[in-house]
Amino acid sequence: MPRPRYRHIVVEGPIGVGKTSLARRLAEHLQAELLLENAADNPFLPRFYQDPKRYALATQLHFLFDRARQVSQLAQGDLFRHSIVADFLLDKDRLFARLNLDSDEYALYRKVYDDLALQSPAPDLVIYLQAPLDKLRERVKRRGIDYEQGMSSDYLDRLAATYSEFFHHYDAAPVLMVNSEHLNFVSSADDFELLLERMDKMRGPREFFSRAA
């Protein structure tokens, strides 16, 4: 097994961009612990896509408490006996809250967030996956999760824009921004090797990686 340069890697990006698939592959390659946000375990998520206004707060709080539990494990340090690959960044939690909650709900969410006093260790590297809106919609449709199929293009577009703004200002860890439109890290060994090379050669706090069609 190669000696990992990064002990704590986070893969992030909007719905449909392939962050969980890449996180799984990286964890397998590095023989690392895998932390997933477990969206399928959130009982409010299918109802959120049917009625966002009614179920946004419950959905967001469920995710917050689940991530808080995982962050508490990180804070204990036990997981750092091995490398860690995660498909969520705790700081991103507030991104969804701002996007989906009204002002009163967001104030309540922030009170809960602040009361939890979450202390999440900064990752050694964030891989921020991007893709055009039409590619995101295609991937959401292809993976076939029922409650996601009614997701509007407007919501996906706003979500991608919010991610872009968030990572434009994010400076807590080095960020490798990856345009994944013409890359398939699951099916293509060559694409995956290219990514590993870029990770290894990364020297600055923010770099960009893409591949022409």
Residues belonging to the active site: 87
With helix as H, strand as E and coil as C, how does the chain read?
CCCCCCCEEEEECCCCCCHHHHHHHHHHHHCCEEECCCHHHCCCHHHHHHCHHHHHHHHHHHHHHHHHHHHHHHHHCHHHHCCEEECCCHHHHHHHHHHHCCHHHHHHHHHHHHHHCCCCCCCCEEEEEECCHHHHHHHHHHHCCHHHCCCCHHHHHHHHHHHHHHHHHCCCCCEEEEECCCCCCCCCHHHHHHHHHHHHHCCCCEEEECCCC
Q: Which residue has the tokens 């990286």?
A: 26
Task: Give the integer Cα–Cα distance in Å for 83 and 194.
Answer: 21
What is the separation, in whole angstroms, between the first and last Cα of the chain?
32
Beta bridge partners of 69: none
Task: Give the integer Cα–Cα distance in Å for 44 and 40.
Answer: 10
